Structure 1
Amino acid sequence: MTDTTTELEAAAFRRLLQHLNQDRPDVQNIDLMILAGFCRNCLADWYREAAAERGIALDKDAARERIYGMPFAEWKARHQREATPAQLAAFEAAQRAQPPAG
């Protein structure tokens, strides 16, 4: 992988985080899971796993703060709504239809 490829991928990742957390915080994690099979928490898990593969210790809270741009509890209080029965049913159906991303 070239330095340019890594820089482009990093820029795209930063833009994804901006989109999810600043432009569209209204999009709930459960909706992302239903439609795409991953959510912000999955990104945090993948980030933490990538750190571990490189010998960098990063706990779950620190990884989530990196992805959400603030402590998870703060983001949750500001943006996360209780899942509706329809969302929960759609989530369960999606989980049966595809393996989890994490």
Structure 2
Amino acid sequence: MDDRTRTELEAAAFRRLVAHLRERTDVQNIDLMNLAGFCRNCLSNWLKDAADAQGVALTKDESREAVYGMPYEEWKAKHQSAATPAQVEAFSKSHNH
């Protein structure tokens, strides 16, 4: 597989992942962190890191909106619930290495 095709396939997979996460607003970021070790914020940070590495101007707010499909504060108000004690405990255990 040539580099261009690989990049196009990876971009398509990224767009599908973002679309999936936008649809699954029931899945909280803390659950993603506890199960997979990354969340929507991580993904938006990786997008910003890639932009920075290429010299492309992209703010943190812009990268979050690219992942969330709306301003981050709006997404939080609409979809984010408070973490339960069990979620916080699981996060503490999984990220206290």
Pairwise TM-score range, normalised by the shorter structure: over 0.9
> Aligned pair count?
96
Specify the alignment match of 2:60 in structure 1.
60
Q: Distance in 2 between matches of 1:70 and 1:36?
A: 23
Q: Residue in 1 aligned with 2:42?
A: 42
- SS in structure 2 at match of 1:6: helix
Cross-structure match for 2:8:
7
Q: Distance in 2 between matches of 1:67 and 1:43?
A: 7
- Structure 2 stretches lacking a partner, 5+ long: none
Gaps of 5+ in 1: 98-102
Residue equivalent to 1:73: 73
Between the aligned partners of 2:46 and 2:66, the Cα distance in structure 1 is 12
Listed one character per residue, the Cα deviations across residues 4-56 of structure 1 (whole Å, up to 9, x for unaligned) are 1111111110110111111x111000000001110000001000000000011
CA RMSD of aligned residues (A): 1.0
Give the letter for the 2:83 counterpart. Answer: A
Q: TM-score, structure 1 length as denominator?
A: 0.90
Cross-structure match for 1:89: 89
Secondary structure at the aligned position of 1:96 is classed as coil
Aligned to 2:27: 27
In the alignment, the residues of structure 1 paired with residue 5 and residue 25 of structure 2 have an alpha-carbon distance, to the nearest angstrom, of 30
Q: Which has the higher contact order (CA 8 A, sep 6+)?
A: 1
Partner of 1:17: 18
The TM-score normalised by the length of structure 2 is 0.94
